[in-house]
Copies of this chain bind each other. A is one copy, B any other.
Amino acid sequence: MRKLITLLIAGAVASSAASPQSPPEASGDALVYVGDKLQKPANYREWIFLSAGLDMSYSSTQTPGHHMFGNAFVNPQAYREFQKTGTWPDKTAIVLETRGAQNKGSINRAGLFQDGDVMGVEVHVKDESRFSGKWAFFAFDGDRPAPMIPTDAQCYACHAQHAAVDTTFVQFYPTLLSLATTKATLSASYLAENPKP
């Protein structure tokens, strides 16, 4: 069983969200909650692409039986704000979609491409009025609304300790990393772990 970089949250199930009841929010890239649960964003594939990785892991000793791509997207409104400020506004949502990888297909003979199997969808949400820690993680099982991952899950501590910007792994989003560097919004912990060469 392999763990992707932001897949620490998989497996958590208990609900611990903040606002008990809330009406569905406006359309566009706004998120929709059903009680404490978050609906899977319907159109995240039309959001802004941040980056893609392959088999990313915290551990160098894993031996997975298959390859997986991870694609990261952010809602356009948050992306536009990041372009201006180098950090995330309230109501940011970053989606990590994991997909199966294929080697042989059509004219491809080497390397890997993404296939039709979505293996997981996780969302990292900033909502200052909804979550006491400002950010929350959700992991979806199919299309059902998902409860918030409890804040004692390892993902929260790891993101707080190692993420480049405001608990998000901007170090793996190349166009945003250079922007955050220019705008001096990199976290103190990230700078301490990654001193300039």
Contacts and interface: CB of A to CB of B under 8 A. Distances in A.
Interface of A: 5, 45-46, 48-49, 51-60, 62, 69, 71, 73, 76, 79, 99, 101, 105-116, 158, 162, 164, 169, 171-172, 174-175, 177-178, 190, 193-194
Contacts of A105: 171-172
A181 to B, nearest CB: 10
B162 A194 contact: no
Contact of A58 (B58, B109, B114, B169): B109
A174 B114 contact: yes
A108 B171 CA distance: 10
A57 B111 contact: yes
Contact of A53 (B79, B111, B169): B111
B56 A71 contact: no
A61 to B, nearest CB: 8
Centre residue among A99, A158, A178 by max chain B CB count within 10 A: A99
A45 B99 CA distance: 21
A57 B105 CA distance: 11
Contacts of A113: 51, 53, 56, 172
A56 B175 contact: no
A156 to B, nearest CB: 14
